[in-house]
Amino acid sequence: MPVVTETRVDFWQAHGINPDNCPVRQVLDHVSAKWPVLILMVLGGGPRRFNELLRALPDISKRMLTQSLRNLERDGIVRREVFDTKPPSVSYSLTELGQGFLPRVLALADWAETSMPRILAARDAYDRG
Amino acid sequence: MPVVTETRVDFWQAHGINPDNCPVRQVLDHVSAKWPVLILMVLGGGPRRFNELLRALPDISKRMLTQSLRNLERDGIVRREVFDTKPPSVSYSLTELGQGFLPRVLALADWAETSMPRILAARDAYDRG
DNA sequence: AATATAGGTCTCAATTAGAGACCATTGTCG
DNA sequence: CGACAATGGTCTCTAATTGAGACCTATATT
Protein backbone atom coordinates (compact mmCIF):
# COMPACT_ATOMS: atom_id res chain seq x y z
CA MET A 1 0.00 0.00 0.00
CA PRO A 2 1.67 3.17 -1.21
CA VAL A 3 1.93 6.18 1.01
CA VAL A 4 -0.09 8.94 -0.57
CA THR A 5 -0.31 12.62 0.13
CA GLU A 6 -3.77 13.98 0.77
CA THR A 7 -5.13 15.88 -2.19
CA ARG A 8 -7.94 18.32 -2.29
CA VAL A 9 -10.08 15.59 -3.76
CA ASP A 10 -9.32 13.35 -0.78
CA PHE A 11 -10.29 16.21 1.47
CA TRP A 12 -13.59 16.65 -0.27
CA GLN A 13 -14.28 12.97 0.12
CA ALA A 14 -13.34 12.91 3.75
CA HIS A 15 -15.91 15.60 4.32
CA GLY A 16 -18.71 13.77 2.60
CA ILE A 17 -18.65 16.08 -0.37
CA ASN A 18 -19.86 13.99 -3.24
CA PRO A 19 -19.95 15.01 -6.89
CA ASP A 20 -23.57 16.00 -6.68
CA ASN A 21 -23.24 18.46 -3.88
CA CYS A 22 -19.70 19.72 -4.32
CA PRO A 23 -19.99 23.42 -5.08
CA VAL A 24 -16.53 23.72 -6.55
CA ARG A 25 -17.23 21.01 -9.00
CA GLN A 26 -20.48 22.64 -9.96
CA VAL A 27 -18.70 25.88 -10.70
CA LEU A 28 -15.84 24.20 -12.46
CA ASP A 29 -18.32 22.22 -14.47
CA HIS A 30 -19.73 24.99 -16.50
CA VAL A 31 -16.92 27.35 -16.07
CA SER A 32 -14.61 24.77 -17.48
CA ALA A 33 -16.86 23.52 -20.20
CA LYS A 34 -15.93 24.04 -23.78
CA TRP A 35 -17.83 27.19 -24.63
CA PRO A 36 -17.89 29.21 -21.46
CA VAL A 37 -14.10 29.47 -21.47
CA LEU A 38 -14.07 30.79 -25.02
CA ILE A 39 -16.95 33.14 -24.35
CA LEU A 40 -15.15 34.63 -21.38
CA MET A 41 -12.05 35.14 -23.44
CA VAL A 42 -14.03 37.09 -26.00
CA LEU A 43 -15.83 39.13 -23.35
CA GLY A 44 -12.41 39.93 -21.93
CA GLY A 45 -12.10 42.29 -24.91
CA GLY A 46 -15.14 44.28 -23.81
CA PRO A 47 -18.91 43.99 -23.98
CA ARG A 48 -20.35 42.07 -26.92
CA ARG A 49 -23.80 41.65 -28.36
CA PHE A 50 -25.34 38.27 -28.93
CA ASN A 51 -24.63 38.16 -32.62
CA GLU A 52 -21.15 39.53 -32.14
CA LEU A 53 -20.38 36.59 -29.92
CA LEU A 54 -21.86 34.32 -32.52
CA ARG A 55 -19.53 35.75 -35.13
CA ALA A 56 -16.51 35.69 -32.83
CA LEU A 57 -17.03 31.98 -32.17
CA PRO A 58 -17.77 30.71 -35.65
CA ASP A 59 -18.44 27.16 -34.65
CA ILE A 60 -20.82 27.70 -31.76
CA SER A 61 -24.52 27.22 -32.30
CA LYS A 62 -27.10 29.72 -31.13
CA ARG A 63 -28.45 27.10 -28.85
CA MET A 64 -25.17 26.52 -27.03
CA LEU A 65 -24.37 30.22 -26.92
CA THR A 66 -27.67 30.99 -25.27
CA GLN A 67 -27.30 28.17 -22.85
CA SER A 68 -23.73 28.99 -21.89
CA LEU A 69 -24.54 32.66 -21.43
CA ARG A 70 -27.50 31.83 -19.21
CA ASN A 71 -25.33 29.66 -16.99
CA LEU A 72 -22.64 32.31 -16.71
CA GLU A 73 -25.25 34.92 -15.99
CA ARG A 74 -26.86 32.80 -13.33
CA ASP A 75 -23.53 32.43 -11.56
CA GLY A 76 -22.93 36.16 -11.68
CA ILE A 77 -19.97 35.93 -14.01
CA VAL A 78 -21.61 37.61 -16.97
CA ARG A 79 -24.04 40.51 -17.02
CA ARG A 80 -26.87 40.69 -19.55
CA GLU A 81 -28.39 44.04 -20.48
CA VAL A 82 -31.24 44.64 -22.88
CA PHE A 83 -31.43 47.98 -24.70
CA ASP A 84 -34.73 49.18 -25.99
CA THR A 85 -33.64 49.82 -29.56
CA LYS A 86 -35.47 48.58 -32.62
CA PRO A 87 -34.88 45.76 -32.86
CA PRO A 88 -33.85 45.39 -29.21
CA SER A 89 -30.18 44.73 -28.68
CA VAL A 90 -28.63 42.73 -25.89
CA SER A 91 -25.21 43.35 -24.44
CA TYR A 92 -23.14 40.83 -22.54
CA SER A 93 -20.20 41.79 -20.39
CA LEU A 94 -18.05 40.46 -17.57
CA THR A 95 -19.13 41.29 -14.06
CA GLU A 96 -16.53 42.04 -11.42
CA LEU A 97 -16.65 38.38 -10.51
CA GLY A 98 -16.05 37.46 -14.11
CA GLN A 99 -13.12 39.82 -14.32
CA GLY A 100 -11.55 38.01 -11.40
CA PHE A 101 -11.98 34.72 -13.13
CA LEU A 102 -10.62 35.70 -16.51
CA PRO A 103 -6.93 35.99 -15.52
CA ARG A 104 -6.95 32.37 -14.39
CA VAL A 105 -8.36 31.31 -17.71
CA LEU A 106 -5.83 33.39 -19.58
CA ALA A 107 -3.03 31.87 -17.51
CA LEU A 108 -4.16 28.53 -18.80
CA ALA A 109 -4.23 29.76 -22.37
CA ASP A 110 -0.76 31.23 -21.97
CA TRP A 111 0.55 27.99 -20.62
CA ALA A 112 -1.02 26.13 -23.50
CA GLU A 113 0.54 28.50 -25.98
CA THR A 114 4.07 28.35 -24.60
CA SER A 115 3.90 24.61 -23.95
CA MET A 116 2.56 23.83 -27.36
CA PRO A 117 5.86 22.71 -28.90
CA ARG A 118 6.44 20.19 -26.14
CA ILE A 119 2.87 18.99 -26.36
CA LEU A 120 3.03 18.53 -30.09
CA ALA A 121 6.29 16.64 -29.72
CA ALA A 122 4.71 14.40 -27.10
CA ARG A 123 1.76 13.71 -29.37
CA ASP A 124 3.99 12.93 -32.23
CA ALA A 125 6.01 10.47 -30.19
CA TYR A 126 2.87 8.87 -28.81
CA ASP A 127 1.27 8.45 -32.21
CA ARG A 128 4.40 6.93 -33.70
CA GLY A 129 4.98 4.57 -30.77
CA MET B 1 -20.67 49.48 -34.82
CA PRO B 2 -19.00 49.32 -31.40
CA VAL B 3 -15.32 49.78 -31.04
CA VAL B 4 -13.94 46.54 -29.73
CA THR B 5 -10.59 45.58 -28.36
CA GLU B 6 -8.94 42.69 -30.10
CA THR B 7 -9.06 39.53 -28.09
CA ARG B 8 -6.94 36.49 -28.40
CA VAL B 9 -9.84 34.83 -30.13
CA ASP B 10 -9.93 37.61 -32.73
CA PHE B 11 -6.23 37.13 -33.21
CA TRP B 12 -6.64 33.42 -33.80
CA GLN B 13 -9.26 34.14 -36.38
CA ALA B 14 -7.19 36.77 -38.12
CA HIS B 15 -4.49 34.16 -38.53
CA GLY B 16 -6.73 31.57 -40.02
CA ILE B 17 -6.64 29.45 -36.91
CA ASN B 18 -9.91 27.64 -36.92
CA PRO B 19 -11.31 25.53 -34.13
CA ASP B 20 -10.10 22.34 -35.70
CA ASN B 21 -6.47 23.28 -35.89
CA CYS B 22 -6.12 25.69 -32.97
CA PRO B 23 -3.57 24.13 -30.65
CA VAL B 24 -4.54 26.21 -27.66
CA ARG B 25 -8.11 25.13 -27.96
CA GLN B 26 -7.04 21.54 -28.15
CA VAL B 27 -5.15 21.87 -24.91
CA LEU B 28 -7.91 23.82 -23.29
CA ASP B 29 -10.14 20.93 -24.14
CA HIS B 30 -8.40 18.91 -21.45
CA VAL B 31 -9.27 21.56 -18.97
CA SER B 32 -12.74 21.97 -20.17
CA ALA B 33 -13.60 18.33 -20.14
CA LYS B 34 -15.15 16.98 -17.03
CA TRP B 35 -12.60 14.46 -15.81
CA PRO B 36 -9.07 15.53 -16.72
CA VAL B 37 -9.05 18.37 -14.20
CA LEU B 38 -10.06 16.07 -11.38
CA ILE B 39 -7.56 13.44 -12.42
CA LEU B 40 -4.74 15.97 -12.44
CA MET B 41 -5.73 17.16 -9.00
CA VAL B 42 -5.49 13.63 -7.67
CA LEU B 43 -2.18 12.98 -9.40
CA GLY B 44 -0.94 16.19 -7.81
CA GLY B 45 -0.79 14.16 -4.61
CA GLY B 46 1.66 11.72 -6.15
CA PRO B 47 1.60 8.72 -8.47
CA ARG B 48 -1.52 6.61 -8.48
CA ARG B 49 -2.46 3.27 -9.90
CA PHE B 50 -5.43 2.80 -12.16
CA ASN B 51 -7.72 1.45 -9.49
CA GLU B 52 -6.57 4.03 -6.99
CA LEU B 53 -7.73 6.72 -9.37
CA LEU B 54 -10.97 4.87 -9.78
CA ARG B 55 -11.49 4.88 -6.03
CA ALA B 56 -10.43 8.50 -5.67
CA LEU B 57 -13.04 9.57 -8.21
CA PRO B 58 -16.02 7.51 -7.12
CA ASP B 59 -18.28 8.54 -9.95
CA ILE B 60 -15.99 8.09 -12.91
CA SER B 61 -16.39 5.03 -15.09
CA LYS B 62 -13.49 2.86 -16.12
CA ARG B 63 -14.21 3.81 -19.67
CA MET B 64 -13.86 7.54 -19.08
CA LEU B 65 -10.86 7.11 -16.81
CA THR B 66 -9.03 5.13 -19.45
CA GLN B 67 -9.95 7.58 -22.13
CA SER B 68 -8.98 10.67 -20.15
CA LEU B 69 -5.68 9.15 -19.10
CA ARG B 70 -4.85 8.25 -22.67
CA ASN B 71 -5.47 11.80 -23.81
CA LEU B 72 -3.34 13.26 -21.05
CA GLU B 73 -0.63 10.73 -21.74
CA ARG B 74 -0.64 11.53 -25.42
CA ASP B 75 -0.10 15.21 -24.70
CA GLY B 76 2.79 14.42 -22.39
CA ILE B 77 1.02 15.63 -19.27
CA VAL B 78 0.73 12.26 -17.61
CA ARG B 79 3.18 9.37 -17.59
CA ARG B 80 2.07 5.77 -17.66
CA GLU B 81 4.35 3.04 -16.35
CA VAL B 82 3.65 -0.66 -16.32
CA PHE B 83 5.30 -2.82 -13.66
CA ASP B 84 5.75 -6.47 -14.28
CA THR B 85 4.17 -7.70 -11.09
CA LYS B 86 1.52 -10.37 -10.92
CA PRO B 87 -0.93 -9.17 -11.83
CA PRO B 88 0.80 -6.30 -13.63
CA SER B 89 0.30 -2.91 -12.05
CA VAL B 90 0.18 0.41 -13.82
CA SER B 91 1.27 3.68 -12.32
CA TYR B 92 0.19 7.09 -13.49
CA SER B 93 2.01 10.27 -12.55
CA LEU B 94 2.46 13.85 -13.67
CA THR B 95 5.28 14.54 -16.06
CA GLU B 96 7.30 17.70 -15.73
CA LEU B 97 4.94 19.26 -18.22
CA GLY B 98 1.99 18.15 -16.12
CA GLN B 99 3.56 19.66 -13.03
CA GLY B 100 3.70 22.99 -14.80
CA PHE B 101 0.10 22.65 -15.80
CA LEU B 102 -1.28 21.71 -12.42
CA PRO B 103 -0.78 25.08 -10.66
CA ARG B 104 -2.89 26.79 -13.30
CA VAL B 105 -5.60 24.24 -12.80
CA LEU B 106 -5.42 24.66 -9.05
CA ALA B 107 -5.70 28.41 -9.48
CA LEU B 108 -9.05 27.76 -11.09
CA ALA B 109 -10.16 25.54 -8.25
CA ASP B 110 -9.00 28.10 -5.70
CA TRP B 111 -10.94 30.79 -7.43
CA ALA B 112 -14.02 28.61 -7.47
CA GLU B 113 -13.65 27.87 -3.80
CA THR B 114 -13.15 31.43 -2.62
CA SER B 115 -15.78 32.82 -4.99
CA MET B 116 -18.36 30.29 -4.00
CA PRO B 117 -20.33 32.53 -1.62
CA ARG B 118 -20.74 35.20 -4.25
CA ILE B 119 -21.68 32.67 -6.88
CA LEU B 120 -24.27 31.05 -4.67
CA ALA B 121 -25.72 34.46 -3.90
CA ALA B 122 -25.88 35.28 -7.60
CA ARG B 123 -27.63 32.01 -8.34
CA ASP B 124 -30.06 32.58 -5.61
CA ALA B 125 -30.91 36.03 -6.91
CA TYR B 126 -31.21 34.75 -10.46
CA ASP B 127 -33.50 31.91 -9.51
CA ARG B 128 -35.76 34.16 -7.48
CA GLY B 129 -35.92 36.89 -10.09
C1' DA C 1 -13.55 -24.76 -6.50
C1' DA C 2 -14.87 -20.10 -5.68
C1' DT C 3 -13.60 -15.50 -5.19
C1' DA C 4 -10.63 -11.46 -5.44
C1' DT C 5 -7.37 -8.34 -7.70
C1' DA C 6 -5.03 -6.21 -11.46
C1' DG C 7 -6.12 -3.09 -15.71
C1' DG C 8 -8.62 -2.76 -19.03
C1' DT C 9 -12.25 -3.42 -23.41
C1' DC C 10 -16.94 -3.74 -25.28
C1' DT C 11 -21.77 -2.99 -25.75
C1' DC C 12 -25.89 -0.63 -25.12
C1' DA C 13 -28.75 2.96 -23.17
C1' DA C 14 -29.11 7.77 -21.77
C1' DT C 15 -27.60 12.30 -21.96
C1' DT C 16 -25.81 16.21 -24.37
C1' DA C 17 -24.41 18.90 -28.27
C1' DG C 18 -25.01 20.57 -32.92
C1' DA C 19 -27.59 21.99 -37.35
C1' DG C 20 -30.75 24.56 -38.79
C1' DA C 21 -35.83 25.90 -39.36
C1' DC C 22 -38.76 29.24 -37.42
C1' DC C 23 -40.63 33.65 -35.08
C1' DA C 24 -41.95 38.75 -34.45
C1' DT C 25 -40.61 43.33 -35.29
C1' DT C 26 -38.52 47.00 -37.73
C1' DG C 27 -35.50 49.02 -41.46
C1' DT C 28 -33.75 49.31 -46.15
C1' DC C 29 -33.79 48.90 -51.16
C1' DG C 30 -35.76 48.88 -55.57
C1' DC D 1 -45.54 47.78 -52.37
C1' DG D 2 -42.81 43.48 -51.83
C1' DA D 3 -38.60 41.24 -50.84
C1' DC D 4 -34.84 40.80 -47.91
C1' DA D 5 -31.79 41.65 -43.79
C1' DA D 6 -30.90 42.11 -38.94
C1' DT D 7 -32.18 41.86 -34.03
C1' DG D 8 -32.12 37.77 -30.16
C1' DG D 9 -33.68 34.07 -29.42
C1' DT D 10 -36.65 29.10 -29.22
C1' DC D 11 -37.72 24.49 -30.96
C1' DT D 12 -37.06 20.15 -33.09
C1' DC D 13 -34.46 16.47 -34.85
C1' DT D 14 -30.29 14.10 -35.41
C1' DA D 15 -25.51 13.02 -34.27
C1' DA D 16 -22.01 12.45 -30.99
C1' DT D 17 -20.52 11.71 -26.32
C1' DT D 18 -20.96 9.71 -21.79
C1' DG D 19 -22.14 6.47 -18.33
C1' DA D 20 -23.34 1.73 -16.39
C1' DG D 21 -21.90 -2.35 -16.20
C1' DA D 22 -20.87 -7.12 -18.21
C1' DC D 23 -16.85 -9.40 -19.58
C1' DC D 24 -11.77 -10.78 -20.03
C1' DT D 25 -6.90 -12.97 -18.83
C1' DA D 26 -3.92 -14.23 -15.40
C1' DT D 27 -2.46 -15.14 -10.67
C1' DA D 28 -3.23 -15.49 -5.64
C1' DT D 29 -6.07 -16.50 -1.62
C1' DT D 30 -9.46 -19.20 1.15
ipTM of this model? 0.89
At position A119, the amino acid (one-letter code) is: I
Asked, for residue A21, whether it belongs to a domain, the answer is: no
CB pairs under 8 A between A and B: 180
Q: Is residue B5 part of a domain?
A: no
pLDDT digits over B108-123, tens only? 889 988 999 999 999 9
Number of domains in chain B: 1
Protein residues with beta carbon less than 7 Å from any atom of strand C? A 33-35, 59-64, 67, 86-87; B 49-52, 62-63, 66, 80, 87-91
What is the rounded CA–CA span in Å between residue B81 and residue B75? 15
Distance from CA of B24 to the nearest CA of A (A): 5
Q: What's the whole-model pTM score? A: 0.90
Residue A2 is predicted with a pLDDT of 41
Per-residue pLDDT, B12:
78
pLDDT (tens digit, 9 = 90+) per residue, A50-81? 999 999 998 999 999 999 999 999 999 999 99
Chain A contact set for B118 (CB, 8 A): 76, 97
Q: What is the pLDDT of residue A8?
A: 80
Residues above pLDDT 90, as percent of chain B? 64
Residue range A104-126: mean pLDDT, rounded: 93
Domain annotation covers residue A4: no
Residue B117 in domain = yes
Tell me which residue range forms the domain holding B69. 33-128
B24, part of any domain: no
pLDDT digits (tens, 9 = 90+) for B20-68: 677 778 888 888 888 999 999 999 999 999 999 999 998 999 999 999 9
Nucleotides of C under 7 A from a protein CB: 5-11, 17-21, 24-27
Q: How does the average pLDDT of chain A come out, rounded? A: 88
Kindly report the CATH number assigned to the domain that includes residue A37: 1.10.10.10
Which residue is the nearest neighbor of D11, CA to C1'? A63
pLDDT at B1: 38
- What pLDDT score was predicted for residue B2? 42
pLDDT digits (tens, 9 = 90+) for B59-101: 999 999 999 999 999 999 999 999 999 889 999 999 999 999 9
Q: Is the pLDDT of residue A18 over 70?
A: no
- A9 touching B, CB under 8 A? yes
Smallest Cα–Cα separation from A109: which of B118, B85, B82, B7?
Answer: B7
> For C24, which residue's CA is nearest its C1'?
A87
Residue A41 has its nearest CB partner, among B8, B48, B107, at: B8
Q: Is residue B22 part of a domain?
A: no
> A interface mutation test: which of B1, B18, B22, B32 has the most A CBs within 10 A?
B32
Q: Tell whether A24 is covered by a domain.
A: no
Model pLDDT for residues A33-52, shown as the tens digit of each residue: 889 999 999 999 999 999 99
Q: Which nt is closest to the CA of A85, judged by C1'?
A: D7
Task: Assess if residue A95 is contained within a domain.
Answer: yes
Determine contact: B51 vs chain A, CB below 8 A. no
What's the whole-number mean pLDDT along residues A77-90?
A: 94
Q: Long-range contacts: B19-27, Cβ < 8 Å, 24+?
A: B19/A58, B19/A59, B23/A112, B23/A113, B23/A116, B23/A119, B23/A120, B24/A109, B24/A112, B24/A113, B24/A116, B25/A38, B27/A112, B27/A115, B27/A116, B27/A119, B27/B75
